Amino acid sequence: MNTYTAKQVAEVLQQDDPQMNLRTVRYYTQIGLIPPLELVGNKRVYTDKHLHYFRAALTLAKSGETLAAVQEKLKALPVQEVVKIGESLHLYQSKPWIGNETYKIGDDVIISVSPRISAELRTSVIDTVTRMLKGETSR
């Protein structure tokens, strides 16, 4: 089991989100957004499990959830689901999306396409997704 201090957690999380800092780590801990710290010897420490909760909290917050809603959602989920949410944090980072072309295919579907793919492939992807949404399975 890996253990971390609050400062180490902040440093690890800053790689995922540069706005994450020690004050935020302590605040999220204080308000109970993450599970209670583990006791190792006579010290309270963070573990990899806590990192998963922090990443999930960041993901949900970036998706527009309030901290209260994030807290309720995370309390109700098993750790495996928390890990899955945290793994999608990169989807909410703006840097990878800057420069991409965005296409609204339907009310619930938006596609972000890198300018590095060919115009032919871009058109094919958009057409395929559009057909799928309409329920068409063949050309």
Domains observed in the chain: 3-92 (1.10.1660.10), 95-134 (no CATH)
pLDDT of residue 113: 84
**pLDDT of residue 45 exceeding 80:** yes
Q: What is the pTM of this model?
A: 0.68
pLDDT tens-digit readout, 75-133: 999 999 999 999 888 777 655 556 778 888 887 888 888 888 898 998 999 899 988 88
Q: CA geometry: angle at 75 spanning 74 and 79, to 5°?
A: 65
Most confident of 13-17, 23-27, 116-120, 127-131: 23-27
